[in-house]
Amino acid sequence: MKLRQVLVSVLILIPLAVPAQDSGKGLSFDLSYMTRGEIRNGGLVKGDESADDFAAFLLGRTRLGLKYEGQGISSRLTAQHSGTWGSQGGGTLGIYEAWVQLQSRQGLFVRVGRQNLSYDDQRIFGSDDFSMTGMSHDVLKAGFEGNGHKFHVFAAFNQNGENTSGGGTFFSGGYQPYKAMESAWYHYDFKRIPMGASLLFLNLGMQGGEKGEDNARTWQQQLAGTYLSFKPKGWSFEGAFYYQMGKSEYGIPIEAWMASSKFTANIGTNTVLFGGYDYLSGDEHFATPPEGMIGVIKHDKIRGFNSIYGSHHKFYGAMDFFYVSTYYRGFTPGLQKLYFGATWTPSEAFSLDASYHYLATATKLQNADRPLGHELECSAAYNISKEAKISIGGSYMRGTDTMKVLKRSSDKGQLRWVWVMLTVTPEAFISRR
C-alpha cells in the first residue's frame, strides 16, 4: 500500500475517534503538527562568500500516527511530512516510525523496525525533535526492564537496495550514514539514593571508498562511556564521559573524547538555576584556508569528537553553529562551552528561560585564537491548551574573529536569530480493548 493511501485511511478514521481519556489498550490515533518561522542574520557556513547573511523562512512538520497496544504486543506507524513553506516539490513525505514490539510480563521485550533511539540525556542517541525531520533508525532491539535495571541491545544493517543481481554489500548515501551498527546500553536506578548510572557501548561500520574500487571496505569505529545523574530534593547533578576509537570511513585512526557536567538548583517554588560545562576534543594543528580558497591540513589521526546521533540543538548553542553544521572537510577544532541561566515557571501554562554561553575551541588553532564568542539565549512557552503550545525565542551572539574564520560568518560579528513556533499534539482513541 502506498504512503498516500495510508494517510487517506487515517484521515477517514478521524471522525470515528473519541477523545483520549485514559491510557487503556487498543488502537489510538495521534497528530503532531509543528511550524516555525525563523529570521537569521549570520553564523551558518555560506556556499558563496559574497552572499547576504540575512535569511527568513517558515518550516513545517506534520506527523500522523497509529498505535496499537494489546496483550504482549504493541506497534506504531508514523507518517511524516516536513519541508519549507513554498519549497519546490512541497517537501518530503516518508515513514518516521514503523515498528512492532513483543513483550513479556517479566520485562523482556523485542522491537523491530524503524524507531527512535533516545537514551539518557540524548547526547549520543536522541530524538532531535527541534529539527523538522527528527531522527529514527531501522534496527532490531531487544532488552529487559525491571527492578531498577534496564538493559538494551540493538543492531542495524543498511543497504541501498536488495542487491539480488550482484553488487555485494556496498552502502552509501542511505537513510543513515552507517552501514552497520551494534550497541549495548545498561542503566541502573539505585534504590536508597536518588541516583542513576548508565553505560553505553557502540560499534559503527562505516563504508569507505567507492563502489567497485579496490579500496571499498567497511571501517569499524567504537564509542564507550557513561552517564550519571544524582537528583536529591532541591538540586541535581548530571555528568557524562565518552571516548571514541577505531577508524573513520577513510581509514584514519580515531582518538577523541568528550566530558560534560550540569548542576541545577531550585530557588523557591517556580525558579530553577542551572549551569554547566561541556568539552569536546578537537583535531590538533587545525587550520582553515584563507577566505576564498579551498584546502585543509592533512591529519594522521582524528581527535575531533563526533557527537553521533544525539539531539545537538539541546547542547551546543541554540543557534546551531556547532555539530549541526560542519566545518570544512569534516575536521573540527572541538568545542568548549561554559554556561549558566535560569528557568522561571510562574504557572503550569507559562515558562521563561534565559541563559548565557561562552564558546571556545578545544584545541589551539594555527591561524586564530580559541574564543568563539558570547551567546545570549532567551525563550518563552505558553500552553494554549493541553494539546497546543506556542513558543518564541531569540539568540544573540557576539562572535570573535575566530568565529568569522571558522564559520565564514558576518564581518560584523553580531549574529542574531529569532523564531516563533506553534506545536499541536492531539490524541484520540479509535477503539479500546
Quick: pLDDT tens for 271-283: 999 999 999 999 8
Residue with cell 569505529: 221
Mean pLDDT of the region 297-319: 85
Residue 48 has pLDDT above 60, yes or no: no
- Pairing label, strands 427-432, 371-383: unpaired
The runs of H, that is alpha helices, within 227-367 are: none
Instruction: Find, among 18, 22, 36, 20, the residue nearest to 419 by Cα.
Output: 36
Mean pLDDT of the region 358-378: 90
Least confident of 92-96, 209-213, 229-233, 366-370: 209-213
Instruction: Find, among 326, 324, 400, 418, the residue nearest to 54 by Cα.
Output: 418
Mean pLDDT of the region 245-257: 91
Per the model's pLDDT, the better-predicted residue between 5 and 54 turns out to be 54
What are the grid coordinates assigned to 267, written together? 530557588
Instruction: Find, among 409, 205, 249, the residue nearest to 322 by Cα.
Output: 409
Q: Cα–Cα distance between 88 and 91 in angstroms, integer?
A: 7
Share of the chain above pLDDT 90, in %: 59
pLDDT digits (tens, 9 = 90+) for 8-46: 444 444 444 444 444 557 899 899 999 999 998 875 655
Share of the chain above pLDDT 70, in %: 84
Secondary structure of residue 147 in the 3-state scheme: coil
Q: Cα–Cα distance between 83 and 233 in angstroms, integer?
A: 43
Residue 295 has pLDDT above 60, yes or no: no
Residue 84 has pLDDT above 90, yes or no: yes
The pLDDT value recorded for residue 291 is 52
Mean pLDDT of the region 348-364: 95
Q: Cα–Cα distance between 327 and 305 in angstroms, integer?
A: 13
What are the grid coordinates assigned to 237, written together? 547533578
Domain that holds residue 53: 3-432
How high does pLDDT run on average in the chain? 86
What is the chain's alpha carbon radius of gyration, rounded to the nearest angstrom?
23
The pLDDT value recorded for residue 209 is 73
Helix (H) or strand (E) holding 54: strand 54-70
Secondary structure of residue 401 in the 3-state scheme: helix
Band of the pLDDT at 98, cuts 50, 70, 90?
Answer: very high
Q: In b/e form, how buried is each residue of 165-202, taking b as 16+ CB within 10 angstroms?
A: eeeeebbeeeebebbbbbbbbbbeeeeeeeebebebeb
Number of domains in the chain: 1
Residue 401 has pLDDT above 90, yes or no: no
Q: Cα–Cα distance between 420 and 404 in angstroms, integer?
A: 27
Band of the pLDDT at 236, cuts 50, 70, 90?
Answer: very high
Query: DSSP per residue over 189-248, as a string?
Result: E-SSSSEEEEEEEEEEEEEES-TTSTT-EEEEEEEEEEEEEE--TTEEEEEEEEEEEEB-
Band of the pLDDT at 49, cuts 50, 70, 90?
Answer: low
CATH number at residue 314: 2.40.160.100
Least confident of 34-48, 254-268, 308-322: 34-48
Q: In b/e form, how buried is each residue of 62-101, taking b as 16+ CB within 10 angstroms?
A: bbbbbbbbeeeebbbbbbbbbbeeeeeeebeeeebbbbeb
Cβ-based neighbours of 294, under 8 Å, separated by 6 or more? 328
Q: Cα–Cα distance between 54 and 45 in angstroms, integer?
A: 12
pTM of the entire structure?
Answer: 0.88
Q: Cα–Cα distance between 33 and 313 in angstroms, integer?
A: 19
Instruction: Find, among 4, 69, 5, the residue nearest to 429 by Cα.
Output: 69
The pLDDT value recorded for residue 297 is 60
Q: Cα–Cα distance between 393 and 416 in angstroms, integer?
A: 11
pLDDT digits (tens, 9 = 90+) for 116-150: 999 999 999 999 989 998 999 999 999 999 999 99
Cβ-based neighbours of 416, under 8 Å, separated by 6 or more? 39, 40, 41, 42, 394, 395, 396, 397
Instruction: Find, among 362, 381, 358, 378, the residue nearest to 370 by Cα.
Output: 362
